[in-house]
Amino acid sequence: MDSWGILNVDTATIAITRDELSSSFRRRQMTTIEKLPDKVLLNIFSYLTHREICRMATVCRRWRMVAYDTKLWTHVSLRPEISGLHVSSLESLLALISIRFGPSLRYIELPIELITHTVLHELAAKCPNLTHMLLDFSTAMQLHDFSEMQAFPTKLRYLCICLSEVIFMEGFMRKIYNFINGLEILHLIGTYEKVEEEEEEIYEVINVHKLKSATPNLRVINLYGINFVDDSHIDAFSSNCIQLECLAVNFCNKVTGSTMKTLFQRSRRLTCLLMNGCSLRSDYVMQVEWEKSSVQELDLTATDLSTECLIDMLTRIPNLRFLSAGQINGFNDSVLKAWVEAGTARNLVALDVDSSDNLSDEALHRFLSRHGSQLHGLVLGGMPHITDQLWQSVLQLLNNAKILIMGTQERLGINIHVDQLMDGIANSCPNLERLELRWDPENLRFSDKSQKAIDILRVKCLKLKCLVLSDGRYYEIVKANFERADRTTVVRTSTNCRVSNYYLLSNYNDLIFN
């Protein structure tokens, strides 16, 4: 009887186990995406672009309701040429603002055909929490009629206006001056890439002197590539914007620096000044009372300042953290030597001397031996004489580096041993986030054991977000390696991506446009 009892218990246990397995299998079969709660679906949809969300809305009624949730429509671009949605008519946009955007909308980009007084009225009425707006007039040949415009979003903190080279903006701007006095961040984007100064007349399409009076609370001003902006416009903003922390006038080639001394005297909080591609004069720059300024971040790329000016400036700025001074013939060994001896590079965390052909590898090695450990970003690209040998000798000093850019696109007479370089980077720079190797693919030498060096880089540099290489066989090998580890977005080509120290700017997020 006992043995029969034991047998019956075992049989019953097996039967129960089979039932549990069977019901578990049935539950797995029944668990489909249709069974997911709306909150989970909403979270999944939040990772999609608005174009993809619109496609999801056509699947079924339930998905359509989830896709229309206003939480998914807080940041909206309606510029299809820049990955935004295409809206076929003003009526459709007005319906979207009312039904889909509403109080959740925080950021919107509008192309010229959708910038009308009716749309702006509706945004002001239905989207009370709108704080960021981009208005793209760059392709405009004619503005809409704004004579009847009586309302405009009043809580804007960020405004970006892409200017046309031929359309005067004063009729529109006059209507919005009373609504934008709370602005903290202003972007005016020009068309310098499209205009050749020698051939076409330049128009001042927006009145900066009136605009500055309407925006007294600006912290960040970005005047990018505007061909009419000169020193008088900088003087105008500095006379009214006492909160100014960051001023960028990159590629405004009429800026000479004649009002820079006054700028720093008025704007005591100014810590970031970006003047890439400006026509700065050394005598004006040397008049600035740098030792009294609060400047910590400076971009002087392609400004043609003299060696004397660079030494005078760098030895007088007490707390410089970020310097971009590439493509300047005057930036040579004597500048680095004087800077080190003055002790004013002690707080430096980012250095860009791209295409500085008058810097020797010996001078760079001496500088990095002293300050390399404090650097988070280093750009030594565009210099044929700076090869992997210098990098191998200083990599262990760059243990805090987050951004590294090396190499030149020029074909070299020597080879770059990239396996050893990758191994050195992996073992020396655990915090690396962005890396760019600009060397020509024909100059890169690697072996059948390259996979091991790439594996070490991938495993040890877990924070690596972007690895840029010139298109070629080595790029394909590295890309395949990262894709096998499901890190598909890390490896990119230099054709469609460039790395910059700008990621380290304290106002980087505020300076982003487009």
The packing angle between helices 450-460 and 418-428, to 10°, is 20
Closest CA to 225 of 202, 259, 207, 198: 202
Q: Residue 14 burial (CB < 10 Å; 0-12/13-18/19+)? A: exposed
Closest CA to 78 of 67, 90, 63, 70: 90
pTM of the predicted structure, to 2 decimals: 0.89
Contacts of 174 (CB under 8 A, 6+ apart): none
In this prediction, residue 6 carries a pLDDT of 42
In this prediction, residue 140 carries a pLDDT of 85
In this prediction, residue 35 carries a pLDDT of 82
Element (H, E) at 173: helix 170-176
Ranges of residues in the chain whose predicted pLDDT is under 70: 1-31, 192-200
In this prediction, residue 31 carries a pLDDT of 65
Contacts of 84 (CB under 8 A, 6+ apart): 50, 76, 77, 78, 109
Q: Which residue has the tokens 């009002």?
A: 259
Closest CA to 118 of 136, 78, 145: 145
